[in-house]
Amino acid sequence: MAFTSLRSTFFLLTFAATVSVLFNGCHGFYPKLINASLAASEHGWSPAGATWYGSPTGAGSDGGSCGYGGSVAKAPFSSLVSAISPSLYKSGKGCGACYEVKCTSNSACSGKPATVVVTDECPGCVLESSHFDLSGSSFGAMAKSGQAEKLRDAGVLQIQYRKVECNYPGTTIAFHVDSGSNPSYFATLIEYENGDGDLASVDLKQALDSDSWQPMQQSWGAVWKLDAGSQLQAPLSIKLTSLDSGKTIVATSVIPAGWKPGKTYRSVVNFKA
């Protein structure tokens, strides 16, 4: 059963719960939830809402607004992905970030964290400062063994989350050249960054310019572009700067001479996990 309509249900339930907290302060249930959230935050965890969408055991949307396409269902993402509220999506700068999510608010919750990757935005998830619209696989990963379906039947949950380092053992950063690229315009989807997972900036260096880096612009999601205005001289090197730690890594000559739009080129580097 799909739960694409749960975002609307979640909004109504959140409003009702808020009213109950404001006008029924003597009721013991909500203060406990608040205290638990505060305690979680003190240990690096923060409260959030959670819903799920798409197939019960799938990857949510077909790629999502970050642009990863069919990669979301394949290793290393393996359908353990999530759409997130605008505050965490950061206009696409949050694409690729990894979070641990866990729940204790339902009897089917295991209380153990599952790690998910940001691959999409939930633009309507704005009643809370943080919300995860998880894939069916991610939502079920928070459940006790054999109770994933029961947990998905709950529909809306209060969870805890924290940002963690991404770790893709044996995987190097990949550059999928956008189909709209041409000899003087280059755009690429960037995938599988260890560490922060998300990027603050991307720069490009041409083969005939050994000293100068040209800043690329974020086009949308995890896609970055450079409109050079003249023919680019390959091979092209790409420098990545991570969003939180500010670490920098260079994929030297990763885009070869004779590169083609639509092709994926793998580097030999990645950030340390």
Q: List pLDDT tens digits, range 64-88.
A: 999 999 999 999 999 999 999 999 9
Label residue 129 by pLDDT band (50, 70, 90): confident
Of 148 and 20, the structure prediction assigns the larger pLDDT to 148
Domains, in order of start, for the chain: 6-164 (2.40.40.10), 174-266 (2.60.40.760)
pLDDT, residue 32, reads 32
Region 230-251 average pLDDT: 96
* Whole-number Å distance between alpha carbons of 254 and 66: 22
Nearest to 92 by CA among 247, 225, 202, 200: 200
pTM over 0.85: no
Tokens coding 100: 């641990």
Q: Are 130 and 46 in contact (CB under 8 A)?
A: yes
pLDDT, residue 13, reads 40
Label residue 27 by pLDDT band (50, 70, 90): very low
pLDDT of residue 121 exceeding 50: yes
pLDDT of residue 144 exceeding 60: yes
pLDDT of residue 34 exceeding 50: no
pLDDT, residue 219, reads 96
Mean pLDDT of the chain: 86
Q: List pLDDT tens digits, range 200-229.
A: 999 999 998 777 999 999 999 999 999 999
Label residue 62 by pLDDT band (50, 70, 90): confident
pLDDT of residue 43 exceeding 90: no
